[in-house]
Chain A
Amino acid sequence: MNLPLILTRCKAGDALAWEALVRQHQSRIYGIAYHYVGNAEDARDLAQEVFVRIYQNLDACTDAKTFIPWIIRITRNACIDHLRRRKARSYGRDVAFDEIRNLPHQGNTPEQQWTVDSRKRLIYRALNELTDLNREIILLKEIQGMQLDEIASLLKVPLGTVKSRSNRARIELARKVMALSSE
């Protein structure tokens, strides 16, 4: 779908274009929110709140190229606000990945799907053992595919720090996955 066109129509108040935009990006926003808060109910509420914010501030997004980083920024801010309200930024360490109701189905057989899901659960567990900054860098760069300069701007840390942290975070995550796999 042509994102600039959809955005223009959304700004003009086209409800169908807005529905298309929501359907196109809801899984990404819900996924980010879940990574931050680690709780399906909170993630759902936050994703809905994020879409309301996006809808209310659509005029602020003047360039379609910056739309994805923009919605990630809004999602992150909403999640941080939510975590502050909870007086803790534990990123949902207490919640197991089993609570997720609908894993994205990738067209595999049930056996293959079960293997994929178990590997994902393992990676989620490993992610939860990382430091907050490392986990956030992994989430933004490796999972959401953001550029390093966008991450640096979003997290308000120097670009060099993001670069070095990114590789270290990947190594740390790989080691955690190896350790958990051997258990």
Chain B
Amino acid sequence: MDCRGFEDRIDAFVAGLLPSEEQEAAEKHLNACAQCRALLGIVRGESDMLAPELSDDLALSILRRTSGPVCRGAERRLCDWIDGNLGVDDQEIIALHIAHCPDCSALAAALTELKEALPGMATLEPDIHFTADVLQATVGWRSHARDVQGFVHLREWWSRLIYRPRIAWEAAYVGALLVMLALGNPALLLQHAPRTVAVPEVLIQSGDQILQKTTAALAERQEAAQRSLSSLRLRGENLLDAATDFRNRTTSSLRQKVSAFLDELKLEWLNENQKQNPEGDLR
């Protein structure tokens, strides 16, 4: 029997339900395998690994490595748990979680307290004169109200209308419409306006003075700009001449140097040729 076979039969082995052949094989395997002996000790409850004080940590570490924290799921069903709306199994499952989770336990305690306290806040006693005031405002009204039901409806409609936030805009719009209806279109008033307007002499004179000053200032500016432009043009031409002169001088100088160099080369070549062939023709 190997380890896998022993693990499959371990419950039956502990209960003594294995056939004699398999029992012997299992015992033989146990004598040879330390891991299976340890496993048997755990199953029989002989090991310290199942010590009660470690169970919470063990459960938490298992949850951490498998499904993750479960408090959020418990929180979703906490209200139903407190109200007793869950099934029996779910009630027990949530109760088990709360028994081992301090946070959820505190939350459940707060929810329970609220469940008891909130209905008690449904009523609040007004002062002793309240009933008398209400009766004074209502009794006697009803018999009279039947005759003036239309007026009441109108008053309620007006109250609803007047307390809306956009009533100011609507009132302004209606007011403008009423003004137009009463006085006519304000644009029509412009039709009767005089087409020519007599301008005072003082205004004309001051306008002329301003125009003259502006024209003179503009002319000065234009003249100054033209002066600057011609000066710039002159400088540009001078620069162009200088550059042309420099180019010509450099070219002629280079040409002379190259010509002299070629002459020297030719002379050297002739001398060399004459040394090698003193009798020969110079070609």
Contact = CB atoms under 8 A, between A and B. Distances in A.
B282 interface: no
Nearest to B160: A81
A104 interface: yes
A167 B114 contact: no
B135 A123 contact: no
Contacts of B152: 56
Contact of B135 (A18, A56, A119, A124): A18
B73 interface: no
A92 interface: no
B200 to A, nearest CB: 53
Q: How large is the interface on A (under 10, 10 to 19, 20 to 34, 35 or more residues)?
A: 35 or more
A157 to B, nearest CB: 18
Contact of A143 (B107, B122, B135): B122
Given A22-B135, A167-B79, A101 B127 contact: yes
Contacts of A5: none
B139 interface: yes
B130 interface: yes
Contacts of B121: 31, 120, 123-124, 143
Interface string B89-132: 00000000000000000110011011101111111111100110
B122 A144 contact: yes
Contacts of B163: 81, 84-85
Interface stretch (B53-61, B141-149, B232-240, B273-281): B141-149
A26 B124 CA distance: 8
Given A142-B119, A145-B122, A171 B127 contact: no
A171 to B, nearest CB: 6
B167 to A, nearest CB: 11
A22 B131 contact: yes
B80 A167 contact: yes
A103 B113 CA distance: 19
A102 interface: yes
A26 B134 contact: yes
A81 to B, nearest CB: 6
A30 interface: yes
Contacts of A143: 118-119, 121-122
B137 to A, nearest CB: 5
A31 B124 contact: yes
B76 interface: yes
Interface string B182-195: 00000000000000
Contacts of B131: 19, 22-23, 26
Nearest to B76: A167
Contacts of A18: 135, 138-139
Nearest to A179: B110
A44 B114 contact: no
B76 A174 contact: no
Contacts of A170: 79, 111, 114
27 contacts: A22-B135, A26-B131, A30-B123, A31-B123, A31-B124, A47-B134, A48-B133, A51-B137, A55-B141, A56-B145, A56-B152, A81-B160, A84-B163, A87-B165, A102-B124, A104-B124, A120-B117, A123-B117, A142-B118, A145-B119, A166-B79, A167-B76, A167-B80, A171-B75, A171-B78, A171-B111, A177-B114
